[in-house]
């Protein structure tokens, strides 16, 4: 049976299972334990009960570090719940229960660490003002989902770009920094610029924003934007345009690295096996939070 005691002295195995080093795991565990205790107080200890909390059969995942290991392994590897239960010595029904119990606990722990991205468009400008360097990159990222059974849903979730059924989010990152903003989750058919127009972002005066051609025509007020020039039907790009496009691409490539860091969690890489709206959205937010957490810990280690 997999447990933290078995892997805490095998750093490479722990990192492969969770995406975190031992020191990062222990740092996150402090907030995770606090979030778990708050959950118990609210839902079990203070709630009306027929018998005191702790009576009855003991759960398999008693150690709090094993609970954190359980949910991190699920996000990192995204096995079926049958396999997840087998790894931790429990059945599939218990694995399902623990996944949906521990996911919001992990979310709260990352919130305590202040690593979750902003989600409210109307708060974006206020959040960005806290950062001294207003050089931002915006891009869209898509995740595969299982094929919808409803014909109308299939039309909405089919992505012409990916040639499959997806959901989409926009991410805004700070250059050489973390993911600052994550949009709501939309159907794969929705265009990047349409999401921007719907969420109506406002940026502090003097912001510089790098974007790709998927945001053609998106020019927010008070913002200097940088976007590659599209080739016209009437002729090729000039050498100066090609050089400028390469320069912009060199700046923009950083967001691809950030999205790659988010997608170290296979739960946002493989087709999502649930269509519960809030879970689909929450797992992407947690994946961004885990990426921000790793980035913050490693930057702190360097300094």
Kindly report, residue by residue over 3-59, the tens digit of the pLDDT. Answer: 999 999 999 999 999 999 999 999 999 999 999 999 988 866 555 555 555 555 666
Q: Give the closest residue to 296 by CA, choosing from 39, 38, 116, 140.
A: 116
> Which range of residues forms the domain containing residue 152?
121-273
97 lies in the same domain as 137: no
Q: How is residue 156 annotated by DSSP?
A: H
The encoded tokens of residue 303 equal: 């300094």
253 and 162 in a common domain: yes
- The set of residues, in sequence order, having a beta carbon less than 8 Å from that of 74 and lying 6+ positions away, is 84, 99, 267
Mean pLDDT of 173-201: 93
Do 135 and 102 share a structural domain?
A: no
Give the count of domains, the chain.
Answer: 2
Tell me: pLDDT of 198 over 80.
yes
pLDDT of 106 above 80: yes
User: Phi and psi at residue 75, in whole multiples of 5°?
Assistant: -70, -40
- DSSP 8-state code for residue 122: G
What mean pLDDT is predicted for residues 54-68? 77
Residue 72 in domain: yes
Longest dimension (CA), the chain: 78
**In the listed set 64, 89, 112, which residue is the last one of a domain according to the structure?**
112
Distance CA 165, CA 159 (A): 6
For 198, how many CA atoms within 13 A lie in the half-sphere containing its CB? 12
Residue 223 has pLDDT above 80, yes or no: yes
Question: Do 128 and 64 fall into the same domain?
Answer: no
In a domain, 197, yes or no: yes
One domain, residues 135 and 257: yes
Domain presence at residue 28: yes
| Angular region, 21: left φ>0, alpha ψ -120 to 50, beta rest | beta
Is residue 299, in this structure, part of any structural domain at all?
no
| Shared domain check, 133 and 68 | no
Strand 179-182 relative to strand 186-187, pairing: unpaired
Q: Let me know whether 213 and 175 are in one domain.
A: yes
């Amino acid at each position: 049976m997999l447990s933290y005691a078995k892997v805490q002295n095998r750093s490479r195995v722990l990192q492969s299972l969770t995406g975190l080093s031992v020191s990062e795991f222990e740092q996150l565990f402090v907030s995770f334990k606090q979030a778990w205790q708050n959950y118990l107080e609210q839902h079990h200890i203070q709630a009306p009960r027929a018998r005191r909390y702790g009576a009855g059969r003991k759960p398999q995942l008693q150690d709090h570090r094993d609970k954190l290991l359980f949910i991190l392994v699920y996000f990192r590897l995204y096995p079926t719940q049958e396999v997840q239960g087998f790894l931790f010595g429990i059945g599939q029904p218990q694995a399902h229960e623990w996944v949906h119990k521990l996911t919001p606990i992990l979310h709260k722990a990352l919130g305590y660490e202040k690593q979750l991205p902003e989600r409210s468009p109307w708060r974006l400008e206020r959040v960005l003002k806290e950062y001294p360097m207003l050089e931002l990159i915006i891009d869209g990222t898509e995740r595969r989902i299982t094929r919808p059974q409803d014909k109308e849903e299939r039309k909405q979730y089919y992505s012409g770009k990916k040639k499959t059924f997806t959901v989409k989010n926009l991410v805004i990152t700070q250059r050489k920094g973390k993911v600052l903003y994550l949009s709501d989750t939309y159907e794969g058919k929705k265009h990047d610029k349409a999401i921007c127009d719907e969420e109506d972002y406002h940026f502090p005066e003097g912001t510089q924003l790098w974007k790709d051609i998927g945001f053609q025509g998106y020019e927010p007020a008070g913002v200097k934007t940088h976007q590659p020039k599209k080739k016209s039907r009437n002729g090729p790009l000039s050498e100066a345009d090609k050089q400028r496009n390469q320069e912009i691409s060199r700046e923009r490539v950083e967001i691809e690295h950030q999205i790659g860091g988010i997608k170290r969690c296979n739960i946002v890489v493989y087709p999502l096996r649930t269509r519960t709206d809030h879970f689909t959205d929450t797992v992407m937010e947690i994946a961004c939070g885990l990426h921000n957490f790793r980035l913050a810990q490693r930057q702190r280690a360097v300094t």
